[in-house]
Amino acid sequence: MIPEFIVDFFSNFWVSLAGKLLLVALAIPLIGMALGFAEIKLSAKMQARVGPYFAGGRWGWAQLIADGIKFFQKEDIIPIAADRPVFKAAPMLVLVSTVALLVVIPFGPGLIFQDLSVGVFYALAISSLSTIGILMAGWSSGNKYSLIGGLRAAGQLIAYELPLVLAVVGSVIMAGTMSMSGIVEAQIEAGFPYVIFQFVGFGIFIVASLAELTRIPFDMPIAESELVMGYLTEYSGFRFLFFFLAEFANMFTLSAIAVTLFLGGYWLPGIPESLVELAGPFIVLGKVFLLAFVMIWFRWTFPRFREDQLQTLAWKWLIPIALVNIAATAFFKVML
């Protein structure tokens, strides 16, 4: 039905690479805008406000598009004291790490950019890259508030990488594979999402990913009432936009990892086999938005922790609980 030369054309390595790149390049702003819009509207709802109303004519749907255009129009300000190359590279690194995360998320059977055999490992390794970008931003800005923010982010990374990694080990043990699509398939085979047995791991994962995202209640690196804007203080214009997009895209990707590992990915009971391929992406998106909603809900409900309380939470609570969870999971895996 499809002429052969077209199939040939699209199966060419470079063409398919270009196609995938284009898809990702479109996906990041779209995801960022969708989640950003959800955030401003939901926060308005939670605070008995209306939120953006006029942009675009209805419900302010064009608000973030207008904001994006505004950011691009702004002058690119780099402080004199800044370390210019690092200052410029930091937002890109943050955004790149987010894009690279999208690679291993399965949106349907076979619908994955690259099914790595060490998908989980890759995802966790890449997700910590963004914190390096944040540290770079804080260090290179030549601003004391930025420096404190950047160092707080580094401390947070060290503290919360561990629970994040330990939390997913349970799922990996249960599935017996580190491939992201393999884990989803294992859940489909088992007939239940792993959250039923890995609820501890799931909870720790969500808390730790909030800390990775530096969102309230773990937004000490930004902490606008203390550090003005933390590592973002000196950023403006499209560089700020990069951070902004990366924040929401990161929220998406970390939620998507949680969905894959704990909530069964594109699996949903009652969806016939033939439809899964078509409905998969929508199921994933639906679950991701559910998790994103929870994160937004947290943000507008909780205040922020203090730096030492954050460290206490990670080292004294999350890590021991995660270790116990791993031991219990391994025990049941061997016994049953």
What residues line the site for another protein (CB under 8 A)?
Answer: 43, 46-49, 144-145, 148, 216-217, 219-220, 223-228, 300-309
Minimum CB distance to another protein smaller for 112 or for 147:
147
Minimum CB separation of residue 296 from another protein in Å reads 12
Minimum CB separation of residue 66 from another protein in Å reads 22
Minimum CB separation of residue 53 from another protein in Å reads 16
Cα–Cα distance between 134 and 124 in angstroms, integer? 17
Cα–Cα distance between 321 and 162 in angstroms, integer? 12
What's the angle, vertex CA 119, arms to CA 118 and CA 124, rounded to 5? 105
Minimum CB distance to another protein smaller for 105 or for 232:
232
Give the distance, in angstroms, between the CA of residue 72 and the centroid of all CA atoms in the same chain. Answer: 24
Minimum CB distance to another protein smaller for 128 or for 311:
311
Q: Write the CB contacts of 301 (distance below 8 Å, at least 6 apart in sequence).
A: 46
Minimum CB distance to another protein smaller for 152 or for 287:
152
Cα–Cα distance between 256 and 99 in angstroms, integer? 13
Buried b (16+ CB within 10 A) or exposed e, 194-207: bbebbebbbbbbbb
Minimum CB distance to another protein smaller for 16 or for 301:
301
Minimum CB separation of residue 221 from another protein in Å reads 12
Query: Is residue 83 within 8 Å of 142, Cβ to Cβ?
Result: yes
Minimum CB separation of residue 25 from another protein in Å reads 33
